[in-house]
Amino acid sequence: MQRLWFRGTLFAFIALAGAGVFAACGGGGGGGSSSAPGQILPAASPTPCPSGYVGNPPGCTQEASLPGQFYPQPSPSATALPALLGYGGTIIIPAAQQATQVFMVLSSTVPTPTPAIPALGSIAHRSLLRHPLDSSSVTALIYITLSVTSGQVVFTQSSGLDSGFPGFTFTLPSGAGNGPFYLAWFENGTTWTTIAGPVSPSGGSVTLQPVFPSLVITPTTAVYLCLYTGGVVPSVAPSGSASPLPTSTTSPSAGPTSSSAASASPTSSPVSTNSPTTPPTTSPTTSPSSSPTLAPTSSPTATASPTAFPSSSPSPTPMPSSTAAVASFAMGTWPSGAWGTPISSSLVNGFEGLNSSGTAISGSETFSHAVTVSSNNSAVTLCLLSDCTPASSVTITSNSQAAVLAMSYNGNAITSATITASATGATSNSVTFTPASAAIVYTGNLNGSGNPEIDLYAPLGGGTGSTGTFTATQAGYSNITYTGGSACSTFATIAQSGSTFTVTAIASPVAGTCTITLDGFNGSTQNVIITYTSFGPIIER
């Protein structure tokens, strides 16, 4: 009987539960949508963060910028970087053989192409720059991806830039620190390599210009870079030419998840992932080798990886940047202009500081004395594209900055402007900017010879023929005046309002002719004939 009671109770429970579910589904006419007592409804799916963000709402954090783009040109140029988390700035673009559109993305995490690339952690040193890296203090700030979807772009060295590799001026958020800052490049798809720096920030920004003769971007070879802070290592690391998947098992006691490298030979190039001098990695199962290109489960190699460091005791003292004395200047090629046509931040090609031998100073060297480039005319201003606030003068401390010198012109009518470069201990040099002039433009009645002429034939108040108007303009100049009006006083008066001139017959005009002269900028003139006849205009047939 107890067993039958249990079955009956179970059946009643199921029946009641079924009724509750039926009611909850709207089976009744007036029950609405309320659930039955005890019923558990599924929780609503949370709204995901939008594309380019990580986390869960409302705590979404932007991970990548919106893509920026530019078309390389036959001569060097510059354009704004996309913004991300307070970072932004300018990319300095070398000349390119083909103007295929290049896309730019800034990201706070390592880009994820296929095959995957490692996070910044181990960086090989390029002897060309003489600035090795202390991997133990690397802090990756922003990753930059440059890519194309079709064709290819071949950046090349030109007279406007002493490098065929893009440079960058980064604006920094307050949390970026005081540096020094470096630029790393994921070179040849094998290893991160330091290619510019160390550079300290100035005015909330930092300029990093690698010096290489060329760079190629194709749909399968995007360029990955990273802005980071760090120090130095005791010696130069090998060049990046090792296989990405080493298979040697020379050191059997060091497996992928080893927590110690005590059994490794003291002369072995790879070091344990727990060594204080080993760069941080993104995977807890990374091989003991410090190479960023090792697969997560691969065995360590007995040969030196591209980014392995030969010693576990880094030097605490950074290598100083080299300096060079400026003896003279190559002024290069400056933009041309014309009255009335403004120029906005146009790059100056080939401006350089020269040493005592007349050779251009390397872009990686700092001038021993700052260079001042100034304009003597307020219509012409200067700036560096890395931080372009037009001013009458700019200060340049290296040829990397000289490569982004730009000029602006407001279009005003001027005879010329002199731009001078000077520095302590250097021979000054200058160039003259002379915009093309423009004539006064008359708009109004012309006589049979095609010359400006206003003909009056009715006295004041006589309607048609008692007044005549014309306009006079000059590109870049708005202060045109006139002379000679007194010669017309026996039959007309002349009134000027801006560029409009109105000639009006007087009450009792006397037939006659006079000529007024319009005076423009720098002695430019235009004559206008004014006549009064009592019989009206003559129509020749």
Residue 19: CB partners within 8 Å, gap ≥ 6?
Answer: none
User: Structure tokens of 329?
Assistant: 């200047």
Q: How far apart are CA 461 and CA 199, in angstroms?
A: 77
Which pLDDT value is given to residue 175? 81
Cα 11 to Cα 17, 40, 81, 133, 260: the distances in Å are 10, 21, 70, 75, 64
Q: How far apart are CA 283 and CA 481, in angstroms?
A: 77
* Binned average pLDDT, 10 residues per bin, the chain of 541 residues: 42 41 40 49 59 58 69 83 87 79 88 78 46 59 90 79 86 86 83 86 87 86 88 36 33 35 36 37 38 39 39 39 87 93 89 92 85 96 86 91 90 96 96 96 95 94 91 96 95 96 95 96 96 69 47
Q: How far apart are CA 119 and CA 59, in angstroms?
A: 24
Which pLDDT value is given to residue 286? 36
Q: How far apart are CA 509 and CA 534, in angstroms?
A: 9
Ranges of H-type helices in 302-431: 399-402
| C-alpha 305: how far from chain center | 35
Cα 245 to Cα 187, 241, 274: the distances in Å are 16, 12, 21
pTM of the model: 0.48
* Coil vs helix vs strand at 243: coil
Which single residue is written with the structure tokens 């998947």?
245
Which single residue is written with the structure tokens 């990319």?
91
* Coil vs helix vs strand at 123: strand
Cα 74 to Cα 156, 161, 212, 351: the distances in Å are 10, 12, 18, 18
Residue 216: CB partners within 8 Å, gap ≥ 6?
Answer: 152, 153, 154, 155
Other beta carbons within 10 angstroms of residue 35's beta carbon come to 13
